[in-house]
Amino acid sequence: MKTLFEKITLGILVVSILAFTKAGTDIFVEKLFVPESKNIVAFESEIEVPVLDIEIKDHNSFLNAIGEKESSNRYTVVNRFGYMGKYQFSKNTLKLLDIKVTKNEFLNNPGLQEEAMDRLLTENYKSLKRFIKKYENTMLHEVYITKSGVLAAAHLGGVGNVKKWFRKGIDFKDGNGTSIITYMNKFRGYELNI
């Protein structure tokens, strides 16, 4: 059973916290009743309660966001540099992933493209695990580090360029001028199944 002091302290704490919140709000009335024998007046206060709009950023959301950025989520796209599909894979990356199909077979097989992305994320995580474990949820070279941001950067610029960034702060840019730092920032905060 809470003491009178604990009840009052808790009530004041709740009122204080909620009073300083400036998010979207709904109004409710809270009554705090204190026993009469202590000569403390019961009071009624109007408190604004924030309405939280939290987007769950899961693995599928990550894949959708990467696909949107790379190809507008189109499986049959080939860009001017020859990168293919929803995630814009190069022929060399597919070879490294032990995926040996023709360009048309790859472009016409969404399931294979999703499998290739899963393999790439897994391989990149293995290669960058030490850096992710060391720096995740910290700032480095003025960038907030998350696993999803690092793996997105590796997708854009390759593991070697991400390691170079960790060690020396050197930012790699792809043929379109997009930097790995841009990907680290844009794709941070997703919960990946890796």
- How far apart CA 97 and CA 127 sit, in angstroms, is 14
Residue 194 within a domain: no
Residues 33 and 67 in one domain: no
Residues 159 and 120 in one domain: yes
Residues 95 and 164 in one domain: yes
Residues 16 and 45 in one domain: yes
- How far apart CA 128 and CA 130 sit, in angstroms, is 6
Residues 130 and 73 in one domain: yes
Number of domains into which the chain is organized = 2
Give φ, ψ of 146 to 5 degrees.
-135, 160
Write down the pTM of the prediction.
Answer: 0.71
| pLDDT for 31 | 42
| pLDDT for 56 | 62
Residues 28 and 89 in one domain: no
- How far apart CA 67 and CA 187 sit, in angstroms, is 12
The three-state secondary structure class of 27 is strand
pLDDT tens, position by position, 37-88:
444 444 555 555 555 555 669 999 999 999 999 999 999 999 999 999 999 9
| pLDDT for 89 | 98
Residues 123 and 166 in one domain: yes
| pLDDT for 38 | 47
pLDDT tens, position by position, 120-176:
999 999 999 999 999 999 999 999 999 999 999 999 999 999 999 999 999 999 999
25-32/43-50 β-pairing:
antiparallel
Q: Residue 121 belongs to what domain range? A: 59-186
Residue 193 within a domain: no
